[in-house]
Amino acid sequence: MTYELIGISVLWLFLYGYLIVASVDFGAGFFAYYAKVTKKDHVINQLISRYLSPVWEVTNVFLVFFFVGIIGFFPDVAYYYGTTLLVPASFAIILLAIRGSFYAFENYGSKQSNLYMFLYGATGLLIPASLSVALTLSEGGFIVEENGAVRLDYLDLFTSPLAWSIVALAIVSLLFISATFLTFYASRAEDHAALALVRNYALFWSSPTIVAALTTMIALSQRNMRHFENMLDLWWMFGMSVGFFIVSYWLLYKGKYYGIAFICVMLQFLFAFFGYGIAQYPYLLDPYIVITDSATNEAMGFALVAAFIGGLCLLVPSLVLLMKLFLFNADYVKGKK
């Protein structure tokens, strides 16, 4: 395996980590606001607050690693994506700032505010929607290079079924992932009222996730047949993804082994996410950025690989320690600390 493949594999693993951790965080914020609107905040908001308090500040570490690494490994990314993603990326950064600020205001301020909670919940859906534009652009045709300059064809983007199907998939997936984790978390806390509520959320959002995934596949076949056919060649990875989804849904429906159900959801998205990425090879941006041609020099590549593998080895144990000290500490989970 060449250093380019090792590098993109490590970066894709960081992006997958962000997909899971951020989904739980963003979805929890939305569910907190929804529970407040439906007058059920007394049931789950304490549980959600116990989860968010230790982790909300570290969620974006995975994303920072990915962006720094992708530009370091593939400098052309800065040229093509840097210009075309200026508006959506700036929008996402503003939303991240709003989300962090209003979370602090809501939890550490002198009084609670429906506006603060609304902004916190809404940004949790808008951030992944804006970031998902990068996946849409990678399929090709949305970026135009003319006279040595690149521009984004906004009309094509906003009228593309693929763009909207990816946005829908990003939103419903994060809600399903988050609801499944909160179900497991509520079971650990032995909070039966919260468990019943978030379990219903998980069951409700499971079907839209599959529908959105199928819709995205259909839209992709109409936009980028090469990528679609490559995904068909990797049918076993997507078959594994569907299999883990069925197991997780069955466990949620039966109301048992919620920890295994969440692990199955993680594996469901692991196989689907890596299957999607492998099928896109060798392109990072079709047809402009090819992984094997656009990578940095070999010495720099191996140095970056070593640095990011080291970072991964530090980050994962840190998250495990965080979970052990707070999230899965028996007294903390039950609200005794």
Residue 235's pLDDT is 93
In whole angstroms, give the CA distance from residue 256 to residue 76: 48
For 45, the token pair is: 């908001």
Share of the chain above pLDDT 70, in %: 90
* Partners of 151 in the β-ladder: 144
The Cα–Cα gap between 37 and 121 comes to: 11
How far apart are the two ends of the chain, measured CA to CA in Å? 48
Spatial distance between the Cα atoms of 239 and 38, rounded to a whole number of angstroms: 37
Whole-prediction pTM value?
A: 0.90
Place of tokens 């909160």: 182
The distance from CA 166 to its chain's CA centroid, rounded to whole angstroms, is 12
Low-confidence residues of the chain, pLDDT below 50?
A: none
pLDDT at residue 328 in the model: 64
Neighbours of 175 (CB within 10 A): 25
What one-character DSSP code corresponds to residue 324? I
Whole-number pLDDT of residue 161? 93
Instruction: For residue 121, give every residue at least 6 positions away whose Cβ sits within 8 Å of its Cβ, in sequence order, or none.
Output: 29, 30, 31, 32, 33, 34
**283 by DSSP, 3-state: which?**
strand
DSSP structure class, residue 144: E
Instruction: Using the CB atoms, write b or e for 268-294: b if 16+ within 10 Å.
Output: bbbbbbbbbbbbbeebbbbebbbbeeb
Domain ranges of the chain: 3-333
